[in-house]
Chains A and B, each alone.
Chain A
Amino acid sequence: MASITFENVTKRFGDTVAVDDVSFEIRDNAFFCLFGPPLSGKSTILKLILGLEQPDEGEILIDGRPVSHVNPARRNVAMVFQNLALFPHMTALDNVCFPLVERRIAKEEIDAKVCDVSEKLHIGHILHKTPAQLSGGERQRVAIARALVRDPVAYLMDDPISALDARLREQTRVELRRIQQELGKTLVYVTHDQEEAMSVADMMAVFKDGKICQTGTPDTLYQRPNSTYVAGMLGAPAMNVLPMNMADMLGALAGPNGSKHFGVRPENLRITKGSDAMISEVEPLGGSTTVHITAGDVALTSTMLGQPQFEAGTQIGLAVNSGQTLFFDGAGNTLAAAQ
């Protein structure tokens, strides 16, 4: 059980600044998501925590203790790699035992630990197989089991389920959430899938070019993003970011001084009678419907539950749910929270 703290950490690779003066704290037992587009430095953060890379500046603390001089194996932080890095020439059992054999633990104790872990992850019946004989989800669980038997203080996962298909991914992330809660350990989780991040994380940090844009609970980041960037990264379809001159048309309140844009989530944009805009496309998704709208040369999206009968080409009016608007300045920073 451990908290992990970054204090003004910078990591460069030649001219690339992979992690740029980053500070944040991961509380004990948190399910913490690092979320950002490719090459934003997420994996580098994990390598820094593991000790596979050393920071050029700043300090990393695990449980309040600086770890710059602690070697990777001693940090007792477990890692599940993106491609899992199971050892293909060993059975699942040998894979899971691998970290135990090293420490010359008594046979009975190894058996007990393996039993315990395989029960938690439901892999008891596949331990005799080799990785090649396992399904994607099973391999996943074996890799997690191997990370867990050592009883690490925290575990890190680098986009561990991106290789799975959509349905299995949904199942696995629920599973991961359950496992994390059962074990009660800090989990640092990298993903580039916003839905995954929002669904599993207690806390998340949004990355861009090696910097953290915002840290907070998924709900906070969704409701009160501090910039158009964070607003755009979370939620699908993305938030409508519109020029202020459209505020009147949508019946939104005037923003604070300096507002250049305002943002409305698709679910807060309602379709009314009128002729300000036109439906360009209707996308029925079963439980909900996404309507693509054009107003002048601005494209907007609106989502609603059910399958309302709209037709492309229909003239419509637009309105926003009151109190659900964000205002941004010229640089894209949020000026005031929803009003």
Chain B
Amino acid sequence: MTDMTSNTPSRSQSQSAADEGAGREEKRLGFALTLPAQLLVLFIALFPILMQVYISLTDWSPLDGIPWYRAYELWIGLTNYVDLAGDPRFWSAIWRTLIVMLICVPVQFLLGLGLAILFVDEFPGRRAMYSTILVPMMVVPAVAGYMFFMLFQSGGPINGILSFLLGSSVQIAWLSDPDLALLGVIISDIWQWTPLMFLILLAGMLSVPQDQQMAAVLLGAGWWRRFFTIVLPRMKTIIVIAIAIRVIENFKVFDNFYIITGGGPGVATETISIYIYKVTQNDLIWGYVAAIALAILIVLSIVSGMAISRMRKG
């Protein structure tokens, strides 16, 4: 049937076939009318990506003195991708990013889950503590970066506290020791983003109906059983979302890492986004950068695609 606001002549004939015909016609008209807007949106969404694909197939750099749209003059095909596949610095940056992610996400998840469990039930001071826990998340990442940069100085507070606790002077060079520097940035990421995990997981936990939990209590289920058979299964979707958000964010993490260590010492904390930044700023081979960025985009799309399909099922 046509919708009520339509005013085409065929409506007066009150013949359903005619009405349907008009409906199809109207749909086509509607489509035609919105087409320019749709194309614009599509263009805005796709243009940067298409441009990247284009540039990544060339050897273009802004210093070459030719505009980007004439980059085809420097067409090199898949060379950038081949180079990328054999670029040890790229692979080690990916590897490092994965390590950061594989440590940060589970730790953030477990800490967030633990905190959420503590905060499900009412207790005195819950509100105040809740707000306090969320503070790190609100700090501008660059500011958080400077904070941890100061904390981890060899004469800084962390060594100070350790000295006090151990009773002897501790002089650990947190940020200039290649083995420890990664730990520093990992700690800063955990500090800053556990609250987000906590927030999402708490919301999920609070949405599990109280009466189901009460029913489980009355049916004799203890805390653990209740948690694993009632609460966790009902939180599946939200857990997938929370983890997917952090995985993707961790791939893109930049500000505080850049400020705390600048990717150093050497390349000890060079994650993929810092590597991209350095290639862009220092080496100015944009075609190559575009290739890296696209490779990462594909990886992240796969990750979020898996998360979404998991959610659809759950």
A interface residues with partner B (beta carbon < 8 Å):
50, 52, 72-73, 77-79, 81, 83, 85-90, 98-99, 102-103, 146, 150
Say whether B307 faces chain A, with CB atoms less than 8 Å apart: no
Q: How far is the CA of A90 from the CA of B232 in the complex (A)?
A: 13
Interface of A is mostly: loop
Q: How far is the CA of A146 from the CA of B225 in the complex (A)?
A: 17
Which residues of A sit under 8 angstroms from B64, Cβ to Cβ?
Answer: none
Q: Does B219 contact A150, Cβ atoms closer than 8 Å?
A: yes
Say whether B284 faces chain A, with CB atoms less than 8 Å apart: no
User: Which residues from 22 to 69 on chain B have a C-beta closer than 8 Å to any C-beta of chain A?
Assistant: none
Q: Does B211 contact A150, Cβ atoms closer than 8 Å?
A: no
Nearest Cβ distance between residue B54 and chain A, in whole angstroms?
A: 48
Q: Does A146 contact B219, Cβ atoms closer than 8 Å?
A: yes
Q: Does A50 contact B218, Cβ atoms closer than 8 Å?
A: yes
Q: Does B216 contact A78, Cβ atoms closer than 8 Å?
A: no
Q: How far is the CA of A89 from the CA of B222 in the complex (A)?
A: 19
User: Which residues from 200 to 225 on chain B have a C-beta closer than 8 Å to any C-beta of chain A?
Assistant: 209, 211-212, 214-222, 225
Q: Does A73 contact B220, Cβ atoms closer than 8 Å?
A: yes
Which residues of A sit under 8 angstroms from B211, Cβ to Cβ?
Answer: 81, 83, 85
Q: How far is the CA of A86 from the CA of B212 in the complex (A)?
A: 7
Beyond known contacts A79-B218, A102-B221, A150-B220: 4 more, CB 8 A cutoff: A52-B218, A85-B211, A88-B234, A99-B221
Q: How far is the CA of A85 from the CA of B219 in the complex (A)?
A: 11
Which residues of B sit under 8 angstroms from A103, Cβ to Cβ?
Answer: 220
Which residues of B sit under 8 angstroms from A150, Cβ to Cβ?
Answer: 219-220
Task: For B220, give its contact among A50, A52, A87, A102 (CB under 8 Å).
Answer: A102
Say whether B233 faces chain A, with CB atoms less than 8 Å apart: yes
Q: Does B217 contact A73, Cβ atoms closer than 8 Å?
A: yes
Task: For B219, give its contact among A52, A88, A90, A102 (CB under 8 Å).
Answer: A102
Q: Does B220 contact A99, Cβ atoms closer than 8 Å?
A: yes
Q: How far is the CA of A179 from the CA of B152 in the complex (A)?
A: 71
Q: Total A-B pairs in contact (CB under 8 Å)?
A: 50
Q: How big is chain B's contact interface, by range?
A: 10 to 19
Task: For A99, give its contact among B209, B212, B219, B234 (CB under 8 Å).
Answer: B219
Q: Does B217 contact A85, Cβ atoms closer than 8 Å?
A: no
Q: Does A85 contact B220, Cβ atoms closer than 8 Å?
A: no
Q: Does A72 contact B218, Cβ atoms closer than 8 Å?
A: yes
Say whether B230 faces chain A, with CB atoms less than 8 Å apart: yes
Q: Does A89 contact B218, Cβ atoms closer than 8 Å?
A: no
What is the chain A residue whose CB lies nearest that of B212? A85
Q: How far is the CA of A52 from the CA of B215 in the complex (A)?
A: 11
Q: How far is the CA of A50 from the CA of B214 in the complex (A)?
A: 11
B221-257 toward A: CB 8 Å interface, digit per residue (1/0)? 1100100011001100000000000000000000000
Nearest Cβ distance between residue A74 and chain B, in whole angstroms?
A: 9
Which residues of A sit under 8 angstroms from B216, Cβ to Cβ?
Answer: 87, 98
A89 and B233 contact, Cβ closer than 8 Å, known pairs A98-B221, A102-B221: yes
Q: Does B218 contact A87, Cβ atoms closer than 8 Å?
A: no
Which residues of A sit under 8 angstroms from B220, Cβ to Cβ?
Answer: 73, 99, 102-103, 150
Q: Which of A72, A73, A83, A90 has the most CB of B within 10 A?
A: A73
Q: Does A52 contact B221, Cβ atoms closer than 8 Å?
A: no
Q: How far is the CA of A81 from the CA of B209 in the complex (A)?
A: 12
Nearest Cβ distance between residue A333 and chain B, in whole angstroms?
A: 39
A-B contact pairs, 24 of them (CB 8 A): A52-B217, A72-B217, A73-B218, A73-B219, A77-B218, A78-B219, A79-B218, A81-B211, A81-B214, A81-B215, A85-B211, A85-B214, A86-B212, A87-B212, A87-B216, A88-B234, A89-B233, A98-B216, A98-B219, A98-B229, A102-B222, A102-B225, A103-B220, A150-B220
A89 and B234 contact, Cβ closer than 8 Å, known pairs A98-B219, A102-B220, A146-B219: yes
Q: How far is the CA of A146 from the CA of B222 in the complex (A)?
A: 17
A78 and B212 contact, Cβ closer than 8 Å, known pairs A89-B233, A102-B225: no
Nearest 7 interchain pairs by C-beta:
A85-B215, A99-B219, A85-B211, A102-B220, A73-B220, A89-B233, A85-B212
Q: Does B217 contact A87, Cβ atoms closer than 8 Å?
A: no
Nearest Cβ distance between residue A232 and chain B, in whole angstroms?
A: 32
Q: How far is the CA of A99 from the CA of B225 in the complex (A)?
A: 11
Which residues of B sit under 8 angstroms from A88, Cβ to Cβ?
Answer: 234
Nearest Cβ distance between residue A85 and chain B, in whole angstroms?
A: 4
Q: How far is the CA of A90 from the CA of B219 in the complex (A)?
A: 15
Task: For B215, give its contact among A77, A79, A89 (CB under 8 Å).
Answer: A79
What is the chain A residue whose CB lies nearest that of B236? A89
Which residues of A sit under 8 angstroms from B233, Cβ to Cβ?
Answer: 89
Which residues of B sit under 8 angstroms from A90, Cβ to Cβ?
Answer: 229
Q: How far is the CA of A81 from the CA of B215 in the complex (A)?
A: 8
Which residues of A sit under 8 angstroms from B222, Cβ to Cβ?
Answer: 102
Q: Which of B219, B229, B234 has the most CB of A within 10 A?
A: B219
Q: Does B234 contact A52, Cβ atoms closer than 8 Å?
A: no
What is the chain A residue whose CB lies nearest that of B221? A102
Which residues of B sit under 8 angstroms from A102, Cβ to Cβ?
Answer: 219-222, 225
Which residues of A sit under 8 angstroms from B212, Cβ to Cβ?
Answer: 85-87
